Amino acid sequence: MKKHQLTLIMGVLCAGLSMLFTACKKSAEPSPSRTIWYILYTKEDFASVKDTIRFRLRMQTTGTTGRVLLDSSIAPMKVSEIPDSLHRLVFTKNVPPGHEHDNLVVGFIYDIDNVGESWFLDSSTAGQRTKTVEYSFR
């Protein structure tokens, strides 16, 4: 009887351990296939400009019916607070799944209080794995 109990216990233990190890396996997710780097700074001296500026990161598909994939605001700042190139702002965004083979428009849109809206846009062609949008604000 003891031999039968020991066999039963060992069988349950083996089954439990095999379920534990297969259930705890972490699947490695594939790395993003397309990345956009947004870099913002200025080389100008705007120390006396106290107007507020609001930047947005933009990513959209091309064409007349371009689909907006990213429209992300950066915290408002004074124009005088835009960092120099040594302290630049860098943002990394992945192109959403399903748009790896789309031509994209990427860049910055910004509004300055009492001045208006403007932009700095560039293209990222289909299949381009990385794109850097570097904007030196003037």
pLDDT in tens, 22-36: 555 555 555 558 999
Residue 63: per-residue pLDDT? 80
pLDDT in tens, 56-110: 999 999 987 789 999 999 999 999 999 999 999 999 999 999 898 899 999 999 9
What's the CATH number of domain 35-137, 3.30.1360, 3.30.70, 1.25.40, 2.60.40?
Answer: 2.60.40
Residue 127: per-residue pLDDT? 83
Q: What is the mean pLDDT of the chain?
A: 86
Burial 40-72 (b: 16+ CB within 10 A, else e): bbbeeebeeeeeebebbbbbbeeeeeeeebbee
> Which whole number is the average pLDDT over 37-53?
96
> Which whole number is the average pLDDT over 39-60?
96
Spans of all domains in the chain: 35-137
> Which whole number is the average pLDDT over 47-63?
95
- Which amino acid is present at 50? K
Residue 69: per-residue pLDDT? 96
How far apart, in whole angstroms, are the C-alpha atoms of residue 30 and residue 92?
17
